[in-house]
Structure 1
Amino acid sequence: MPAETAPFVLMYHSVQAYRADPYRVTVRPGRFEEQLRWLDRRGRRGVSVRDLLRARRAGRGAGLVGLTFDDGYADFATQALPALCRHGFTATVFVVAGSLGGRNAWDEPGPRKELLTAGQVREIAAAGMEIGSHNLCHVHLPRLDPAQLNEQVRRSRQILAALTGEPVIGFCYPYGDAGPRETAAVAAAGYEYACAAGRDLPTGSFTLPRTFVGDHDTSPRLYAKLIRHRLTTGWVPV
């Protein structure tokens, strides 16, 4: 996938009210609703990466924007999902398969957040959301030896596929860490695409770029990010 065809994909994490958020991973529900309305006003429809890539291959990608949620926070089921359904949108949720029903222990010293349970993962998949893998554990893949790397990417895919009864075709690198070895391992594990973030990597099916969205992103800031994406990738939002 050459850089000039890179789709516009937004990267979210958590949607809930909060007091402190040192890692800026949380968007308040009211702000999230504003951001969805911004897409609506521009004639854009938020979809999962799975559906976005399929539509683009069929020549039907006009007006579609990818929506992704990293880490699999439980507030996706209680806050994000109802808002998405009100707008007729879908999204991809990248789940840490080895931490279902747990908490985000990797975010010390940030606030503790509950993660989706197995039952919630099944529910959001049944609601039309795509479930992707965010690894077995939320670890830096480049720090693992080859056997550990393969276990992380393969086992997580198996767990989530068994849980939802659907193929798991999308992967998201924890911390955005991905080099040639990691992308090769993800491809070999049977995924069809992977999302990256925060690294200067050539754009391809296993290094799809994304645009971070936070609680400070009002309509003007979102528009600026769209323009930046267009300038850096050559993407034309038809």
Structure 2
Amino acid sequence: MKNAPIVLMYHGIDNVDSAHDAENLFVPVNAFHQQMEYLKRSGYRILSENEYLDWLNGRPLDGKSILLTFDDGYTSVLQNAAPILGKLRMPGICYVCPGLLGGRSTWMEPASWHELMDAAGLTEIANAGLTLGIHGHDHTSMQSLSFQDLTKHTGDARALLEERVGVRAQTLAYPYGQHSPKSRQAVSSAGFECAFAIYETAGRWALPRVDINSVDTPRTFRLKLKSIYPTARRAMSVAPPVRRAAHKLVGLAKR
């Protein structure tokens, strides 16, 4: 689609050593600040959730645009990302697990457990300008669940967030980016406006995002902003010849 926004997927924003960040999910604070400054300097329009939904529903966008998303609901997003975003007047969406508020990321290996925002923290981050979305009830993969179990991770999770924080979520991001026809139907039936995956996409109910992680350099960050990147990234998982062609394609992008 013409002028489609790029949706960036972050997790934590903190200075965490590799021993406590096995999946490279925590972008260093200074690197995140530099990335946001680059977006602003380069003329990207940072969309709110409602602006993104307006585009999804047919309203055209001019120029380059970005939607910022943050998965899991780490306290570091409130402590480190929100002040930077507030200073630069950039909105975003924080996807949280209502069943784990105030807990830790126990779906990871113990060395990589990190604190999650509680209800007060989510209220504070919402007041700071970030929208709240659903990331399942407790970060369980939604790929193979029954319709009954999917209700817990979609409509019930949204109701719990509204009860605890007073915010009604409009959108959902699948834990691990994993989804299925059944889970997509469950999200649609629960009344969400759309859902985000990562690279394995399926229309409105599994929209693409680009992951930004702790090992991204300024150059790889810029490459990930190219419209060719999601297609190239998907191709890399298909077959060695396609991977080589995709690497070449990405390498031709301007620095």
Q: Same fold (TM over 0.5)?
A: yes
Change in Cα spacing, 1:231 to 1:212, as seen in structure 2 (3 Å) is closer
Cα distance in structure 1, aligned partners of 2:230 and 2:138: 35
Determine if the alignment matches structure 1 residue 67 to structure 2 residue 65.
no
Letter in 1 for 2:218: S
Q: Is the 8 A contact 1:52 1:61 kept in 2?
A: no
Between the aligned partners of 1:94 and 1:110, the Cα distance in structure 2 is 22
Task: State the secondary structure of the residue aligned to 1:106.
Answer: coil
Aligned partners of 2:161, 2:185: CA distance in 1, in Å?
A: 20
Q: Partner of 2:6 in structure 1? A: 8
SS in 2 for 1:191: coil
Give 2:22's aligned residue.
Answer: 22
Partner of 2:171: 170
Conservation of the 8 A alpha-carbon contact between 1:104 and 1:114: yes
Alpha-carbon deviation of 1:216? 2.6
Shift of the 100–231 alpha-carbon distance from structure 1 to 2, 3 Å rule, reads closer
Deviation for aligned residue 1:51? 2.9
Tell me what 1:93 maps to. 94
1:205–1:149 Cα change, 3 Å: same
Q: Cα deviations across residues 64-93 of structure 1 (Å, max 9, x unaligned)?
A: 200000000011110010011111101100
Q: Over residues 49-72 of structure 1, what are the superposed CA-to-partner deviations in whole Å (9 max), with x where a residue is unaligned? A: 333222564334543200000000
Q: Distance in 2 between matches of 1:13 and 1:67?
A: 11
| Aligned twin of 2:155 | 154
Moved more, 141-150 or 72-81: 141-150
- 8 Å Cα contact 1:8/1:229 also seen in 2: no
Say which is worse superposed, 75-84 or 222-231, in terms of deviation: 222-231
- Percent of residue pairs bearing the same amino acid type: 32
Cα distance, 1:110 vs structure 2: 4.2
Aligned mates of 1:62, 1:4 — CA distance in 2:
10
Structure 2: stretches of 5+ with no match in the other structure = 233-255
CA RMSD in angstroms comes to 2.1
TM-score (norm 2): 0.83
Q: For the Cα contact (< 8 Å) 1:38–1:219, is it kept in 2?
A: no
More displaced 10-residue stretch of structure 1: 169-178 or 152-161: 152-161
Given the superposition, is the C-alpha separation of residues 180 and 12 from structure 1 closer, same or farther in structure 2, using an over 3 Å criterion? Answer: same
Q: Higher mean Cα deviation, 153-162 or 204-213?
A: 153-162
> How far apart are residue 144 of structure 1 and its match?
2.1
Deviation of 1:147 (Å): 0.8
- Provide closer, same or farther for how the CA distance between residues 145 and 230 of structure 1 changes in structure 2, counting only shifts above 3 A: closer
Superposed CA deviations along residues 173-223 of structure 1, whole A, max 9, x for unmatched, are 111111111100001011001000142x33x21111000101232332122
3-state SS of the aligned residue for 1:70? strand
Give the Cα separation in 1 of the matches to 2:122 and 2:224. 30
Greater CA drift, 60-69 or 114-123: 60-69
Number of the residue aligned with 1:207: 206
Match of 2:244 in 1: none
Which residue of structure 1 aligns with residue 226 of structure 2?
227
Q: What is the total number of aligned residue pairs between the two structures?
A: 229
Task: Give the drift of 1:228.
Answer: 4.8
Higher relative contact order (CA 8 A, sep 6+): 1
